[in-house]
C-alpha cells in the first residue's frame, strides 16, 4: 500500500497477487478459466472499499502464473 500525490490529490495504491499453477491438460486455457472467479471476487472486494482497478500484469515462472492486480482510490487522508 502507498500514498502518492497525483494531480493535487492523494492516491492510495494496493497490489494483489494471485498465483496459479499449470497442470497437464488438453485445455490450454485452464488457468484463464479457473482464475476468472477469484479475480472477480478480488475486484468486488476492493470495489466495496472504494478502490478501482488501475492496471494489471502477469508473468510466468516455471509452472506458475502470477497475476498482479493494481488498485487505486482517492486517499481518505489529507
Q: What is the pLDDT of residues 18-66, one digit of tens each?
A: 999 887 777 777 777 888 999 999 999 999 999 999 999 999 998 899 9
* Number of folded domains that form the chain: 1
Cβ burial of 51 (10 Å; 0-12, 13-18, 19+) is buried
Q: Cα separation of 6 and 58, whole Å?
A: 25
Torsion angle, CA of 47/38/19/49, rounded to 10 degrees? Answer: 20
Hey, which residues does 52 pair with through a beta bridge?
Answer: 72
Report which of residues 5 and 75 the model is more confident about. Answer: 75
CB atoms within 10 A of CB 23: 10
**Domain extent for 36:** 2-74
Asked if residue 4 has pLDDT above 60, the reply is no
Return the pLDDT at 43: 96
Contact 19, 64 (CB under 8 A): yes
pTM: 0.77
- Hey, what's the cell of 65? 502464473
pLDDT band at 2 (very low <50, low <70, confident <90, very high): low
Asked if residue 1 has pLDDT above 60, the reply is no
Amino acid at each position: 500500500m502507498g500514498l502518492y500525490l497525483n494531480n493535487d490529490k492523494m492516491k492510495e495504491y494496493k497490489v494483489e497477487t494471485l498465483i496459479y499453477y499449470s497442470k497437464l491438460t488438453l485445455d490450454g486455457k485452464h488457468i484463464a478459466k479457473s482464475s476468472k472467479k477469484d479475480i472477480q471476487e478480488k475486484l468486488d472486494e476492493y470495489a466495496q472499499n472504494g478502490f478501482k482497478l488501475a492496471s494489471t500484469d502477469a508473468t510466468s515462472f516455471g509452472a506458475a502464473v502470477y497475476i498482479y492486480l493494481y488498485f487505486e482510490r482517492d486517499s481518505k487522508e489529507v
